[in-house]
Amino acid sequence: MLIVDNISVNYGKMPAIRNLSFSVQEGEFITILGSNGAGKTTTLKAILGLLPSRTGKILFNDVDVTNMSPSERIRMGLSLVPEGRQVFPGLSIEENLELAYFVSHPGKRNRRHYKEMMERMFTLFPKLKERLVQNAGSLSGGEQQMLAIARGLLAEPKLLMLDEPSLGLAPVIIDQVFEILNELNKEGLTVIIVEQDAHRALEASQRGYILETGTVTHGGRSKDLLESQIVQNAYLGQT
């Protein structure tokens, strides 16, 4: 479904990722691990088209999207739940959701479809419905993360990418996030997750890749990575 083939991204003259390649099949749940600064966020941004690649190409469902804008890629079925959630704190939950829907469905002012999508989000995240008129900035970290995921889902993605969704959340909320992601994956959504919580992410996913200083150094089945010495030493230190 996704082929990332030899991409490289610089910030100014500084390379952040270099000759990076990996692939994802339809229906998979993929974990990307790596220490701080390894290039995980840069990789996800490049896949969505928020950062240009100097080399290589990105194929999504057999279409070369390398030169497409982020909004074109979103319309094709790519979506990113960004690092740090990035909800609009001064807008209500409803306004945050409405914006996410209409930005990803330009010209499609179909109220009925919008309402259906909103109902789906309320089924997945009942808390959001209870607090619809509340400012997003007044939500707890966990609720903001649920809102950020709902925003990502309103684009009706085929492939959902999440950048460190568990960061700063209580373990019980992290469990809820992973439960929802597993459920969505079972329904057919393809998922790429970038995570600090290597153990949880590898337990939830089928395959994983390790990123070091801007390139993929290892890849394999999640259950093999969980047992591998390299992963245990670098990412599963305390477990």
Ligand X SMILES: Nc1ncnc2c1ncn2[C@@H]1O[C@H](COP(=O)(O)OP(=O)(O)O)[C@@H](O)[C@H]1O
Q: Give CA–CA dist 200/175, Å, rounded.
A: 9
36 binds, among Mg ion, ligand X, none (CB under 5 to 8 A by kind): ligand X
Residues that bind ligand X (CB under 6 A): 11, 14, 16, 34, 36-42
**Closer residue to Mg ion (CB): 68 or 208:** 208
Query: Cβ(190)–Cβ(26) under 8 Å?
Result: yes
Please list the helix, strand and coil fractions of the chain in percent, rounded to the nearest 5, in that order: 40, 25, 30
| Residue 168 C-beta: closest distance to Mg ion, Å | 13
Name 72's Cβ contacts closer than 8 Å, sequence gap at least 6.
49, 65
38 binds, among Mg ion, ligand X, none (CB under 5 to 8 A by kind): ligand X
133 binds, among Mg ion, ligand X, none (CB under 5 to 8 A by kind): none
In the window 40-79, what residues touch Mg ion (CB under 5 A)?
40-41
Site string for Mg ion, 80-119 (x = CB under 5 A): ---x------------------------------------
- Output the CA–CA distances (angstroms, integers) from residue 195 to 31, 35, 87, 102, 198, in the order listed: 7, 10, 19, 29, 6
Q: Where on the chain is the footprint of Mg ion (CB under 5 A)? A: 40-41, 83
